[in-house]
Amino acid sequence: MTAEAAQPQQPLLRVRDLKIRIQMDNGVMNAVDGVDFEIRRGRTLGLVGESGCGKSLTSRALIGINPKECETSGTIAYTSSQEPEAKGEPLNLLALNPNGRKIRSIRGRKIAMIFQEPMTAFSPMYTIGNQIMEAILIHRTRNKKEAKRIALEMLGKVGISDQEKRFDQYPHEFSGGMRQRAMISMALSCNPELLIADEPTTALDVTIQAQVLELMKRLQREFGMAILLVTHDLGVIAEMCDEVAVMYLGKIVEQAPMKDIFRNPKHPYTKGLLRSMPRLGGSKAKRLESIEGSVPIPVNMPPMCGFYDRCKDRIEGVCNARSVPATRISDSHTVRCFLYSEQPGGQQR
């Protein structure tokens, strides 16, 4: 694809200090609290965390589809390599009017998204073909015949047989796995540079999940798009990703290449998460290690490490006294924990 050739040095998307605040009755919730990451062309970044950690809000902020209550700040610099609009010049997506013409020409066209619930993401009132064509008609062509041809081709690419018949069927006539395939075909119909996949296989059976993951990998090779994969399943991460960002309570606590996260995790939360995951090959006699306690609600949080209450390695007077800066421990590995911080107090132990 043209992607890698154009600007190898510029990442496709660079997110800096992304903050999402939600005004609640009892205070301000810092749902996303200073998130930095980059997505490189043709690569896959995994965003992993438990429910409520802000991973979905983060991914939705990229295309400006969060509800109005979310006050969003920071920058999302998007450097396109297709099209005339941005010739090497990064474009701050957050500065755009979320209902404006500009973002609408990017949303769905350059940055597409697939959702967790293939049951609810489609409208039950229109045929699958009609809904796939809608995206194509908005972004690619005005010619209905041409749009239908593209839609049928896409349905074939995602492995739906008998496309002509399927094209005129309604979502309820599709099974869960088929709907997810149809959604992928819709998202990829405009050949996007970035695909945001929010828990794409969580609602599916393992056998169907394996099919869909395989399909996503194949299409990534074919189309060369980057993927932002939002999930809570570390198994899916190991399968799909080049890089991983672990989120906890609105912050990225650790970020590294995928293999480093699994072989050499640093943050106590990442370690705990890996240990508490049951994996094949264990037996009943083995007890699972769990992380004690539960995720606090980030309303009116004082500046401290959000994981403090559940952490086995916490340092009193340090971890609960101020907010934790990100420490770079190697070129590609950053961790947000005082155990690795060079600041005084961090290395006391």
Partner 1 sequence: MTKPILDVRNLNKEFKVKSRKALFAKPASVRVLQDISFRLQEGETLSVVGESGCGKTTLGRCIVRGINATSGEVVYRTEGGEAVDYLKLKGAEAKKFRKDIQMIFQDPYSSLSPRMSVFDIISEPLVASFKLSKAEVEEKVSAIAEKTGLNASYLKRYPHAFSGGQRQRIAIARALITQPRLIVCDEAVSALDVSIQAQIINLLKDLQEQYKITYIFISHDLSIVENISDRVAVMHLGKVVELAAVDSMFRQPRHPYTEALLSAVPQPDPDSKKDRIILEGEVPNPANPPSGCHFHPRCGYKTERCLKEMPAMREIAEQHFAACHYADELTLRGARK
Which residues of this protein are in contact with partner 1, per CB under 8 A?
Answer: 50-51, 175-178, 205-211, 213-214, 232-239, 258-259, 262-263, 272-274, 276-284, 286-292, 294-295
The token pair at 171 is: 């979502």
Q: Looking at beta carbons only, is 97 or 175 nearer to partner 1?
A: 175
Beta carbon nearer to partner 1, 48 or 318: 48
User: Please, are residues 265 and 272 in contact by the beta-carbon 8 Å criterion?
Assistant: no
Q: Which residues, other chains included, contact 246 with Cβ-Cβ below 8 Å and sequence gap of 6+?
A: 48, 49, 252, 253, 254, 255, 261, 267, 269, 270, 273
Supply the minimum distance, in Å, between the C-beta of residue 110 and partner 1.
29
**For partner 1, the closer CB: 10 or 209:** 209
Could you identify the residue written with the tokens 């500065």? 95
CA dihedral 231, 50, 269, 25 (to 10 degrees): 140
Query: Residue 289 contacts by C-beta under 8 Å, 6 or more apart in sequence?
Result: 272, 275, 276
Q: How far is the CB of 164 from partner 1 (least distance, A)?
A: 19
Residue 194 CB, shortest distance to partner 1, in Å, is 23
Nearest distance, CB of residue 265 and partner 1, angstroms: 11
Instruction: Please give the backbone phi and psi of residue 325, each rounded to the nearest 5 degrees, phi first.
Output: -80, 160
DSSP letter, residue 288: P
Contact 44, 240 (CB under 8 A): yes
95 or 277: CB nearest partner 1? 277
Closest approach, Cβ 261 to partner 1, in A, equals 9
75 vs 224: CA distance, rounded Å: 25
The Cα 21–Cα 69 span in angstroms is: 8
C-alpha R_g of the chain = 21
Least distance from partner 1 to the Cβ atom of residue 109, Å: 31
C-beta of 72 vs 185, nearer to partner 1: 185
Q: Which is nearer to partner 1, 238 or 326 (CB)?
A: 238
